[in-house]
Structure 1
Amino acid sequence: MHNRARYLIFFQYIGKKYSGVVSVARHQPGKTGVQDHLEEALQRLKPLSPVSLLVSSRTDAGVHALSNSAHFDLQRRNNMPPFTEYTLVEALNSHLSTEQIRVTRAHRVPSDFHARFRARSRTYLYRIALGVSNYNHLPLTECDLCWGLRNKVLDVGAMRDAASLLAGTHDFSSFAANSHEEVYKSPVKTMAVVSIQTGNSFAHSYFHREMPLLELTFRSQSFLYKQVRRMTGALVAVGQGRMSLSQLADILEARDTRAYPQNILAPTRGLFLTSVDYKESDLQFSDQLTSTENAKG
Structure 2
Amino acid sequence: MRKIRSVMKELDPKVFIALTIAGIINAFGVTIFLFPVKLYDSGISGLSMLLDQVTPSGMTLSLFLLLLNIPIFAFGLRKQGIAFTVYSIFTVGVYSLMSFLIMKVFPIDVSFISPLAGSDLLLCAIFGGVISGIGSGLTIRFGGAIDGIDVLSVIFSKKIGISIGTFVMIFNTILYIICGITIKSWILPLYSIVTYYIGSRTVDFVVEGIDKSKCAMIVTTKASEISDALAENFDSSGTIVNAIGGYSKESKEIIYFIVNHFQINKLKKIVHNIDPAAFISLQEVSDIIRKKDM
TM-score (norm 2): 0.31
Higher RCO (C-alpha under 8 Å, 6+ residues apart):
1
- Say which structure is richer in strand: 1
Structure of higher CA gyration radius:
2
